[in-house]
Amino acid sequence: MTEQQNLMTGQQHRAELFRGLHNAGDPVVLVNAWDVASARIVEAAGARAIATTSAGVAWSLGAPDGDMLARDLAVDLVARIVGAVSLPVTADIESGFGATPGQVGETVRAVLTAGAVGVNIEDTLHGGAPALRPVDEQCARLRAARSAADDAGIPLFVNARVDTFLRGLGGPAEAVERANAYLAAGADGIFVPGVVDPELVADLVRDIPAPVNILAGPGAPSLPELAKLGVGRLSLGSGPAEAAYGMARRVAEEAFGTGTYDALAGALDWGTVNALMTRR
């Protein structure tokens, strides 16, 4: 078997492994990473898979979130994380880094070449007032993503993000309608950020015939509670990156204000982080 075939076989195995982690009642927990260091920290803490956060990745590379980061920079970061961890990696590719379905397919091919086994694709339409892509248009983009993965022979897990609640542009019926259309277009799971009410989560799980992904943070139900509701995937999104940047701001404000350094308490020590970076 050639080296290329070995790489593909390994990626296929990781893709099947990642797909199998999406179980109602035993959700895969994704503490989203934004660089190699955060990915290795999450891996060492006991993760079963690594997910990137598009916002954290964009911020770390000097761009705002919202389809503003160049595709090649995002893909390069995915490749670096894939090469640094032994777990399956799923990449948040915003709305696909492309204006057309064909360009979304190009992005997916690039992400697959980088070694990822999953993608998030959102339906927010950036560049103006809050809006969502028309369902037919978003379905064409999802079909392009599915086709690119099928052509590559990798069972990529396509997680379609429904932003009706996140953007305040629709209720449960709109979310379920979009979810079912996206599944018919080739999505494998549905991500509905902005929903944490237990009754509403239970309704979405009941009405969407695929793993449902919930975005969690302070005030959201606990993991055991969400598991009981049948959630198949739990993400922390940009929360970990925001927490890290929040600490950086507290440290800076204290140093420039009182001239003290107490905000550094609880930080990972140099030896721990360095060891994570030097391990093979």
Mean pLDDT of 138-155: 98
Q: What is the DSSP letter of 191?
A: E
Read off the pLDDT of residues 224-257 as tens digits, 9 standing for 90 and up: 999 999 999 999 999 999 999 999 999 999 999 9
Task: Determine the Cα angle at 215 with ends 224 and 84, to 5°.
Answer: 95
Separation of CA 151 from chain center: 23
Share of the chain above pLDDT 70, in %: 96
Relative to beta strand 212-215, strand 189-191 is parallel
The mean pLDDT of 160-164, rounded to a whole number, is 98
**Is 256 a domain residue?**
no
Note whether residue 234 is domain-resident: yes
Question: For residue 276, is it within any domain?
Answer: no
Three-state DSSP state, 45 = coil
- For the residues 146-162, what does the mean pLDDT come to? 98
pLDDT tens, residue by residue, 89-114: 999 999 999 999 999 999 999 999 99
Mean pLDDT of 154-174: 96
State mean pLDDT over 27-51: 98
Residue 260 covered by a domain? no
- Domain range for 135 is 3-242
pLDDT of residue 128: 79
Q: What is the pLDDT of residues 108-144, one digit of tens each?
A: 999 999 999 999 999 999 887 879 999 999 999 999 9
Q: Residue 3: pLDDT above 80?
A: no
**Rounded alpha-carbon distances, angstroms, from residue 57 to 73, 91, 109, 120:** 9, 10, 19, 14
* Residue 60: CATH number of its domain: 3.20.20.60
Contact 242, 65 (CB under 8 A): no
Cα–Cα distance, 219 to 86 (Å, whole number): 32
Q: Is the pLDDT of residue 7 over 80?
A: no
pLDDT by residue (tens digit) across 186-224? Answer: 999 999 999 999 999 999 999 999 999 999 999 999 999
CA atoms within 13 A on the CB side of 104: 26
Residue 29: other Cβ atoms inside 10 A: 20
pLDDT of 5 strictly over 60: no
Provide the domain count of the chain: 1
Structure confidence at residue 2 (pLDDT): 62
Asked if the structure places residue 84 within a domain, the reply is yes
- 267, part of any domain: no
Residue 265 pLDDT exceeds 60: yes
How much is the pLDDT for 23?
A: 96
Do the domain assignments include residue 97? yes
Mean pLDDT of the chain: 95
Residues 119 and 108: their CA atoms lie apart, in Å, by 8
**Beta strands of 61-192 (E only): which ranges?**
89-92, 118-122, 157-161, 189-191
**End-to-end alpha-carbon separation of the chain, Å?**
24
Q: Which two tokens stand for residue 252?
A: 């800076």
In a domain, 201, yes or no: yes
